[in-house]
Copies of this chain bind each other. A is one copy, B any other.
Amino acid sequence: MMEETPTQNIDKRIQMAVEAFQFLKNTTINERAEFMNAVADQIEVLGVELLEVTHAETSLPLARLIGEKARTTGQWRSYAKAVAAGIYTEARLDLAQPEKQKGDLRKYNVGIGPVVIFGASNFPFAFSTAGGDTASAIGAGCPVIIKAHPAHPKTSQIMADAITTVVKAFGWPEGVFSHITGTSYEIGAYLTQHKDIRAVAFTGSFHGGKALFDIANSRENPIPVFAEMGSINPVFAFQNLLETKAETLAKEYIASLTLGVGQFCTNPGVFISLKGKPLDRFITVLKEETQYVTPVNMLHKGILESFEKNRSSAIEQPDVEIIMSANTATEDSKVSASIIKTNAQTFLNNPVLSEEVFGPFGVVVACETKEELVKIAQELKGQLTITVAATHEDVRNNDTLINILKDKCGRLLFNGMPTGVEVVYAMQHGGPFPATTDSRFTSVGPDAVKRFVRPISFQNWPDEFLPEELKNDNPLQISRMVDGVMNSESLKLQTI
């Protein structure tokens, strides 16, 4: 069981974060990048002991955990590199023009203030205590208060200790990083309501994310909440492609649907196509392939129970045909894949069928007409990803539909499956509501840092008091926009 951090300790930690923010504001991007690389080093030396603890807490296979650990240190390092390059500093200098009576104006991004981060259960390393949210907040110059996920408390503590070790080694104020534990709803609400918190990041259910969003917006001083709340990640499969590649597509789809027991927010939960022989062939292969899926334990009992409940609810809807219904093996809570089939009208009229079932569960929607495909696209809520399974010819034949799909997601795939979220600059992991609360930001890739900064302009300040990022001689040698032109030069100005 997880001990709950008492409220007075939380208050104390937030006060420490407020003080640490004054310190962090005056660190340079290079200093923060060094810190972030040191955290990566520290996580890297955590050996098999960490993996075993996490495996015991999450049931995730060791191979996956090894991969996720590498991904996690990769996040710290790549975000550090981007921070040090000054990409999120966005320095802009408009120099004085005394002849036009224009003053000197210089703007850059600073951290927004103390950030509360809610760890996710499905990525105990990469989206949890030492995950991408923590790395991006610290990169931005914000102290972090982690609300540990109760499904892997020991893992969370090991990661928190790793970060704390680095805080101490750097001689930074303890308040740069705080680890809060507890299972109650109230503790999350308390953190989100606290007047000194300036932003919240969350990965989890719609219910949880939306509750935090509402709390944050009803504060006396509202704050941004970046909640990634899942998605059904539809796959739209078109005729030419399906005619030639039904088998391959079925194998790719089932592999993606069952990867990690379907416990990914980019799990392709819905497959939409015109009815007909190609789709029948797709379904036949799907049925065969599903039989070979090895049942695996889900992350924790709560997720398993939700999966069973939501899966049953979907399967029991009228006008739904079961393609494959794999019951949970009762003795050890292992699950494999379940897939149902329905028609467009049923799908459109029954909202239960377009709700996310977190786990290995798919809905195949067989449309009568192209118009039904368009209608489904129009009615879709916001998604993290949408996949267009198509030939070039299919794309040309369906431009209206594809244009609509662009408004409905953060990432649009041409073939391939959406699971596997690369940690690169071009990644957009965030889509229109309700996929996330703010489609303008990503929670994966170095651009995740953007969530936690805000600009401040300095007007007519003497060079000696400006932050390093804005000084005339550009000591950090970052790329800056000077009078509208990007360069990394030193300015030869008379010091005022």
Query: Which residues of A does B touch, CB under 8 Å?
Result: 21-22, 25-26, 81-82, 92-94, 102-103, 105-107, 110, 112-113, 213-214, 217, 221-222, 224, 381-382, 392, 395, 403-404, 406-407, 409-416, 422, 424-428, 430, 432-434, 437-440, 442, 447, 453-462, 464-465, 479, 481, 484, 486
Contacts and interface: CB of A to CB of B under 8 A. Distances in A.
A414 B222 contact: no
Contacts of A92: 425-426, 447
Contact of A458 (B404, B412, B458, B460): B412
Contacts of A455: 410, 428, 430, 440, 442, 447
A414 B470 CA distance: 15
Oligomer copy total: 2
A217 B425 CA distance: 29
19 contacts: A22-B403, A25-B406, A25-B407, A94-B426, A103-B416, A221-B432, A222-B433, A224-B440, A410-B457, A411-B458, A411-B459, A412-B456, A412-B459, A414-B458, A414-B460, A427-B457, A428-B455, A439-B454, A486-B486
Contacts of A105: 422, 424, 426-427
Nearest to A440: B454
Nearest to A438: B224
A291 to B, nearest CB: 27
A413 B459 contact: yes
Contact of A440 (B94, B407, B422, B453): B453
B94 A422 contact: yes
A447 B93 CA distance: 13
A412 B461 CA distance: 9
A138 to B, nearest CB: 18
Nearest to A402: B465
B25 A403 contact: yes
Nearest to A464: B392
A213 to B, nearest CB: 7
Most-contacted residue by chain B among A403, A447, A459 (CB, 10 A): A459
A459 B405 CA distance: 14
Most-contacted residue by chain B among A404, A439, A440 (CB, 10 A): A440
A215 to B, nearest CB: 11
A92 B447 CA distance: 10
Contacts of A414: 458-462, 465
A106 B411 CA distance: 9
Contacts of A22: 403-404
Contacts of A221: 381-382, 432-434
Given A213-B222, A217-B222, A406-B456, 5 more contacts: A81-B484, A94-B424, A412-B459, A428-B457, A440-B455
A392 B425 contact: no
A22 to B, nearest CB: 6
B460 A425 contact: no
A165 to B, nearest CB: 28
Nearest to A460: B414
A267 to B, nearest CB: 16
Contacts of A432: 221, 454
A407 B458 CA distance: 13
Contacts of A454: 410, 432, 439-440
B425 A107 contact: yes
Nearest to A400: B22
A482 B440 CA distance: 21
A479 B486 CA distance: 10
A100 to B, nearest CB: 10
A55 to B, nearest CB: 25
A202 to B, nearest CB: 15
A454 B440 CA distance: 4
Contacts of A407: 21, 25, 113
A102 B422 contact: yes
A409 B457 CA distance: 9
A165 B139 CA distance: 47
A395 B464 CA distance: 10
A113 B415 CA distance: 26
